[in-house]
Amino acid sequence: MIRENKTFAELSVGDTASIKRVCTANDLYIFAHASGNLNPLHLPDGHGAPVQEAIAPSMWVGALVSAVLGNVLPGPGTLYNAQSFRFLGRAHVGDELTIAVTVKEKRPGNVVVLDTQVRGRGGETIAEGVAEVLAPARKLQIDDAGVPSLLVNRHQHFDRLIEACRGLDPMAMAVVAPEEPNALGGVLLALEHKLVRPVLIGSADRTRQAAREIGATVDGIEIVDVPDHDQAAAHAVALVRDGRVDAIMKGHLHTDQLLAHVVKRDGGIRTSRRISHAFAFDVPGLDHVLLVSDAAINIAPTLEEKVDIVQNAIDVARSLGIEQPKVGVLSAVETVNPKIPSTLDAAILAKMAERGQITGGLVDGPLAMDNAMDMAAARTKGITSLVAGRADVLIVPNIEAGNMLAKELVFVAHAVGAGVVVGAKVPIILTSRADDAKSRLASCAIAVLFQAWRSGIKLALPGKAAAA
């Protein structure tokens, strides 16, 4: 947007200008970083209150006056001499504020005095004062597109998923070998949030020692003392078959050791569908949860196996509130090339979805990463698609590509990842020692929501976050 000023000579007493601004949670985080003011009253959830109750710092409210002075009246080229304020009320996240200035006096030396006012919701005045500025002597224009954008490293999508589990009964979950502080800590955090009702299966002594190391206790939690990891995994699967638990979480044991019992033909909990892992990523700046599959189980899936991987990922996405997931099947290029087998698989998967062999989502491919996620890139390549530039789900060609993509999202794009294995009779959470508390908690929330969706429970779960 091009902005033009009014010079000192063009200004008249009584000239007025105003702007409107909605206070967002991101505004408060940015102000906290810029000012160093970390008062918890001014940070969303900083004092245990909902985001909407966070109080905007009064100096942030006052700073909005400079936006009118510097952008509109007098506009570009204006410099402050002085500003007084009297704060009469408070602004909160979600409030639409009206900021107005009125020319009160012109003085020699290009000095202009203006009355300033900020009105909150309902029109009440929450700040008033007087500004003294040096008005510009010559015409200036600015293009606000030249200001670099900011990315606030928040993970609000996972917060929504965890919040969506409120009101649901805690899910009975078998935790295999919770004998290490990180593994046990994630379970206890999910218990604290009333997401799960855990059954701890492993060495009772090592589990209690892990609890002591993190200053916690496992008193009151059911512990099945099975020191051998293979037997512990078998016992967890048996609990599923007996209907005692509705999910399994991997603790301090190898993934293969657990899944070997899950997929056993006799005594396992496999279904007619192939199991696959669906990562969910909360990526700062992205207005929806991004799913990636399969980056953890299927090494080099065949076309037949990819059909199940796609269907599983669609089901997970729908359970998270994405009504009709847009699935981009990735390859190195966006055109079918017989020399690149993944492009052939992608095209066939898209056609299968079109014919109803894959249901519940829109599937398109092959798509390269850029034109799957960026609308401008898709237009540049001349791709006409309901999925290109809008993908909610990314299907990778093999585990190597999936692993690299997942780690790039976490370590480069500052995403938080969570995930669940589906395709078995119950969801299975595969934790990693690198997972932080938020990741483990979100994985439990995804398992709870998936099981609720599969049981036909309807939840109000918006698929995209409101724009900040």
Lowest mean pLDDT among 174-178, 221-225, 369-373, 460-464: 460-464
448: left (phi over 0), alpha (psi -120 to 50) or beta: alpha
Q: Which of the two residues, 94 and 310, has the higher pLDDT score?
A: 310
Q: Are 107 and 37 spatial neighbours (Cβ–Cβ below 8 Å)?
A: no
Q: What mean pLDDT do residues 286-309 have? A: 96
Q: What mean pLDDT do residues 218-242 have? A: 96
Please check the confidence at residue 313 and state whether its pLDDT lies above 80.
yes
- How do strand 222-225 and strand 290-293 relate by DSSP bridges? unpaired
Please check the confidence at residue 36 and state whether its pLDDT lies above 60.
yes
Q: What mean pLDDT do residues 163-173 have? A: 93
Q: Are 343 and 354 spatial neighbours (Cβ–Cβ below 8 Å)?
A: no
Q: How do residues 65-116 score in pLDDT, each as one tens digit?
A: 999 999 999 999 999 999 999 999 999 998 999 999 999 999 999 999 999 9
Please check the confidence at residue 459 and state whether its pLDDT lies above 90.
no
Q: How do residues 247-294 score in pLDDT, each as one tens digit?
A: 999 999 999 999 999 999 888 999 999 999 999 999 988 889 999 999
Angle between helices 437-454 and 303-319 (to 10 degrees): 90
Q: What mean pLDDT do residues 293-322 have? A: 96
Confidence of residue 149 (pLDDT cuts 50, 70, 90): confident
Confidence of residue 189 (pLDDT cuts 50, 70, 90): very high
DSSP string, 390-429: --SEEE-SSHHHHHHHHHHHHHTS--EEEEEEESBSS-EE
Please check the confidence at residue 46 and state whether its pLDDT lies above 60.
no
Residue 436: what pLDDT?
Answer: 79
For the chain, the average pLDDT equals 92
Identity at 35, one-letter amino acid code: S
Q: What mean pLDDT do residues 209-236 have? A: 95
Nearby residues of 103 by Cβ (< 8 Å), 6 or more positions away: 11, 12, 13, 14, 15, 16, 73, 112, 113, 114
In the numeric block, which tokens belong to residue 426? 């119950």
Residue 435: what pLDDT?
Answer: 78
Strand ranges in 245-295 using DSSP code E only, listed in sequence order = 247-250, 276-282, 290-293
Q: Residue 137, SS3?
A: coil
Q: Residue 164, SS3?
A: helix
Residue 467: what pLDDT?
Answer: 37
- How do strand 96-107 and strand 16-22 relate by DSSP bridges? antiparallel
Please check the confidence at residue 49 and state whether its pLDDT lies above 50.
no
Please check the confidence at residue 155 and state whether its pLDDT lies above 90.
no
Under DSSP, the state recorded for 376 is H
Please check the confidence at residue 53 and state whether its pLDDT lies above 90.
no
Q: What mean pLDDT do residues 111-134 have? A: 96
- How do strand 125-134 and strand 111-119 relate by DSSP bridges? antiparallel
Residue recorded with tokens 């091009």: 2
Confidence of residue 150 (pLDDT cuts 50, 70, 90): confident
Distance CA 60, CA 45 (A): 18
Q: Which of the two residues, 265 and 366, has the higher pLDDT score?
A: 366
Q: What is the largest CA-CA distance in the chain?
A: 93
Query: Which homologous superfamily does the CATH classification assign to the domain defined by 156-325+392-454?
Result: Isopropylmalate Dehydrogenase (3.40.718.10)
Pseudo-torsion of CA 121, 122, 124, 125, nearest 10°? 30
CA 194 remoteness from chain centre: 21
Q: How do residues 324-348 score in pLDDT, each as one tens digit?
A: 999 999 999 999 999 999 999 999 9
Confidence of residue 230 (pLDDT cuts 50, 70, 90): very high
Q: Which of the two residues, 143 and 69, has the higher pLDDT score?
A: 69
Q: How far is CA 426 from CA 82, 173, 233, 433, 442, in A?
A: 65, 10, 14, 23, 17
Residue 96: what pLDDT?
Answer: 95
Peptide bond before residue 294 is cis, with ω within 30 degrees of 0 = yes
In the chain, domain spans: 2-146, 156-325+392-454
Q: Are 99 and 64 spatial neighbours (Cβ–Cβ below 8 Å)?
A: yes
Strand partners, 223: 200
Phi, psi torsion values for 223, nearest 5 degrees: -120, 125
CATH of segment(s) 2-146: 3.10.129.10
Q: How do residues 207-220 score in pLDDT, each as one tens digit?
A: 999 999 999 999 99
Q: Residue 50, SS3?
A: coil
Nearby residues of 363 by Cβ (< 8 Å), 6 or more positions away: 310, 327, 329, 349, 350, 352, 353, 354, 387
Residue 464: what pLDDT?
Answer: 54
Residue 48: what pLDDT?
Answer: 44
105: left (phi over 0), alpha (psi -120 to 50) or beta: beta
Element (H, E) at 59: helix 58-71
Identity at 342, one-letter amino acid code: S
Distance CA 79, CA 100 (A): 17
Residue 191: what pLDDT?
Answer: 95
